[in-house]
Chains A and B, each alone.
Chain A
Amino acid sequence: MISTDSDPTNPGEDGRTHHLDVYERRWMIASVALLVVFAASVAVAGFGLGFQVPGHESRVDPNTVADSPPWNNPGLRDLGNGEYEVYVIGRQYLFEPNEIRVPVGATVTFYVTSVDVQHGFKLQDTNINMQIVPGHISKLTRTFEKAGEFPYICNEYCGLGHASMAGSLIVEAQGG
């Protein structure tokens, strides 16, 4: 990959006159190939297959966001056809609501914001994991195929009471 301006009358100790060794050159090519494959894979998984990270949603004023709909009444909204939205507010040191119940098969879109400092929102055993930044809304969607309890915990340090900040999503068996 690199041109050489080496001096053949002045070989290195191992007889090399090029400043790059042949194995070194092959290693470089293999490394680049590997990294290109990685980059392509995540791009396809993210933008092609929809395994997405939370994107740019919308801005709010953290001082007033909790005064008007939908944030003045955080919690679950049933949109019909098994689709749900849930609005969660993070504040030092609790989530509102701290319990959410949905039926098996529900597709839930989580909207989360903070009214004070940064928090985290991690729904255990799932890939719902979002940074909660005051002034922004974080959003991710997931379908719940199995019944069970999924704790959601704050995973960004938010002050001295941070360790107690958690809630629980309960996925209920059909008809239960």
Chain B
Amino acid sequence: MLTQPRTYQLDTSQKRFISYHLVIAVIALTVGSIFGPLQSFNWGGLDLYQFLEPIGLGDYYKGLTLHGVLNALVWTTFFITGFLTLTTIVGLGRPLKHPRLNWAGFITMAVGLVMAGIPILAGWASVLYTFYPPLEAHWGFYLGLTLVVVGSWIEGYGFYLTYYQWRKENPDTRTPFITFGGLITMVMWQLATIGVAVEILTMLLPFSLGLLDGTDPQLGRTFFWFTGHPLVYFWLLPAYISWYGLLPREAGGKLFSDSAARLAFWLFLLLSIPVGFHHQFVDPGIPNSWKLIHATLTYGVAFPSLLTLFTVVASLEYAGRKRGGTGLFGWIRALPWHKPSVSAQLLAGILFMFGGIGGITNASYNVNLVVHNTAWIPGHFHLTVATAATLSYMGISYWLVPYLTGKPLWKPKLAVAQTWFWFVGMLIFSNAMHVLGLLGAPRRTDLNSAPYVPEEWSGHLLRVSIGGAILLIGVILYVLIVYKTARGKDHLPEGEEIEVPIAESITDPQLTPMWLDRWRPWLVGSVALIILAYGPQLAQQISNAQFTSPGFTP
């Protein structure tokens, strides 16, 4: 067994750099989350948008665009790049090779955010976060989003260069797990975002600038979903890094299997991308045989998630038994539920099991006819991105913010309560959304003004509102706790430093075979699989493209 070296300590400038990411992330979550409850109240029959009219936010769809963009794109991307900076530096035990490069990436992201934000607020981009053409937004929206993505790429290059240097000096050491997971997340993201980059740069930007008269909406969808599915793994993998690489330590145990954890990450790199048609099962422009191929590959990407379930639960069981838990379930009670960070991640994991079952349902080819574009879908992804990812990030921030600021967490008991508010609110909200979806309720709809809402839906619509109200308390508490911690007057007592809770593995990582720490075969495999699963059909769609659809502003 290696003796655990003291974790590398960040200096003030590094801490500040990561903190800036979190500041923007939390502001985005705060603003974006205002609209979630508003939407849920609208569904329950209480329309509050009229009161927002004076400040220009009276439109349901402008709000929904802000909600999707700020929560699903901005909160996540800024949190993740900040968190991956930490996993790179702390895991490798060395500073970034070129901190200025990472700063440049961060500034690019921030500029992009402002550039995309202005047209949304002005009402020139109420196209939702999927911006399906030929709905047309102001060019600033597309360019801004591009800059956010490009900025995140640049930060990624900074991670690679730092890693490369480390690898040269440590040719035979297994990459520390959290760094390893972070790098795979970033590589996967860079491969994945090629789709949306091509869509924006070759289709939507010229279109919105008036350089192209028309566009091909089907091709746009195909490019979008090339990115759109792996996007969900970009959100989830940082949570997995924490579940595998940090949570076991926080819970008083160890990572059950280093090999299985690494295998899961490689499989996510391999299989996250060539599955995008599962979002397009009911599209008219794609042959059904291709849809079935992507459905099958989607079952493939469910495998590493099932593997994660096993390894994470086994790690937690190990922790629970070490803490004196006995019997079949006694170890669960023995876990440190009183720690807000642990409670958040355990609850996130529990809801994610339902999210996973729902995901397999969605991916099941013809079964998708029942749920496509119904309320079931947002019901599903509020369990994944809005809970498995978001609640885990919240849990991470309960040690990260004290770590970065040197101040103790403000009211830890309240923080535990916050995690339960989120859990209970989401349980009610998402259950109601799933049921509504099965009854046929559409998503992305100002249901309060829809003429076709039957009486049968009303009880569930009310439950959506109730869940939304509980979640609202959850968001307010989270933001308050983070704010109060960061602005608090008390500092941690002298000599009492917070460490990044890096978990050891039960088995020595050096026992993990080297092929689980080699980039080339997995990268080549990923690209090859993408070419096989997308190449022929994409070539077909591109060669048959007809740029005949003129733009429409919503």
Interface-facing stretch out of B105-113, B175-183, B344-352, B443-451: B443-451
B126 interface contact, C-beta 8 A: yes
Query: In the complex, which residues of chain A have a beta carbon less than 8 angstroms from the beta carbon of B365?
Result: 42-43, 45-46, 53
Contact at B372–A12, with CB atoms within 8 Å? no
Q: Provide the bound-state CA to CA distance between A61 and B218, in Å.
A: 13
Query: In the complex, which residues of chain B have a beta carbon less than 8 angstroms from the beta carbon of A23?
Result: 310, 314
Contact at A117–B548, with CB atoms within 8 Å? no
B202 interface contact, C-beta 8 A: no
Contact at A27–B549, with CB atoms within 8 Å? no
Q: How far is the CB of A105 from chain B (nearest CB, A)?
A: 22
A16 interface contact, C-beta 8 A: yes
Chain B: interface residue total (CB-CB under 8 A): 77
Q: Provide the bound-state CA to CA distance between A31 and B302, in Å.
A: 9
Q: Per-position contact with A for B429-454: 1 when CB-CB < 8 Å, else 0? A: 00000000000101111110111100
Q: Provide the bound-state CA to CA distance between A124 and B450, in Å.
A: 14
Q: Provide the bound-state CA to CA distance between A127 and B64, in Å.
A: 27
Contact at A31–B440, with CB atoms within 8 Å? no
Which among A38, A56, A159 is the interface contact of B287 at CB below 8 angstroms?
A: A56
Closest to B370 in A: A127
Contact at B134–A116, with CB atoms within 8 Å? yes
Q: How far is the CB of B129 from chain A (nearest CB, A)?
A: 11
Query: In the complex, which residues of chain A have a beta carbon less than 8 angstroms from the beta carbon of B364?
Result: 38, 42
| Interface hits, B282-317 → A, CB 8 Å | 282-288, 291-292, 295-296, 299-300, 302-303, 306-307, 310-311, 314
A contacts with B: majority SS: loop
Contact at B442–A57, with CB atoms within 8 Å? no
A13 interface contact, C-beta 8 A: yes
Query: In the complex, which residues of chain B have a beta carbon less than 8 angstroms from the beta carbon of A45?
Result: 365-366
Contact at B126–A56, with CB atoms within 8 Å? no
B493 interface contact, C-beta 8 A: no
Contact at A129–B373, with CB atoms within 8 Å? yes
| Interface hits, A1-39 → B, CB 8 Å | 2-7, 10, 12-14, 16-17, 19-21, 23-24, 27-28, 31-32, 35-36, 38-39
Query: In the complex, which residues of chain A have a beta carbon less than 8 angstroms from the beta carbon of B451?
Result: 164, 166
Contact at A129–B370, with CB atoms within 8 Å? yes
Query: In the complex, which residues of chain B have a beta carbon less than 8 angstroms from the beta carbon of A164?
Result: 449-451
Contact at B452–A153, with CB atoms within 8 Å? yes
Query: In the complex, which residues of chain A have a beta carbon less than 8 angstroms from the beta carbon of B374?
Result: 122, 155
A125 interface contact, C-beta 8 A: yes
Q: Provide the bound-state CA to CA distance between A133 and B282, in Å.
A: 10
Contact at B1–A19, with CB atoms within 8 Å? no
Which among A61, A116, A166 is the interface contact of B452 at CB below 8 angstroms?
A: A166
Given known pairs A43-B292, A53-B281, A116-B134, the reply for A38 and B366 (CB within 8 Å) is: no
Which among B64, B254, B280, B360 is the interface contact of A131 at CB below 8 angstroms?
A: B280
Given known pairs A39-B296, A135-B216, A159-B552, the reply for A55 and B288 (CB within 8 Å) is: yes
Given known pairs A14-B506, A118-B217, the reply for A156 and B440 (CB within 8 Å) is: no
The contact sample of 16 A-B pairs, CB cut-off 8 A, is A6-B511, A24-B311, A45-B365, A55-B284, A56-B287, A59-B285, A116-B552, A117-B135, A117-B217, A129-B372, A131-B280, A131-B284, A136-B284, A158-B135, A159-B554, A164-B451
Residues of A at under 8 Å CB distance from B? Answer: 2-7, 10, 12-14, 16-17, 19-21, 23-24, 27-28, 31-32, 35-36, 38-39, 42-43, 45-47, 51-57, 59, 61-63, 92, 116-118, 120, 122, 124-125, 127-139, 151, 153-160, 162-164, 166
Residues of B at under 8 Å CB distance from A? Answer: 1, 59, 61, 64, 126, 128, 132, 134-135, 216-218, 221, 254, 256-260, 263, 280-288, 291-292, 295-296, 299-300, 302-303, 306-307, 310-311, 314, 360, 364-370, 372-374, 440, 442-447, 449-452, 506-508, 511-513, 544, 546, 548-550, 552, 554
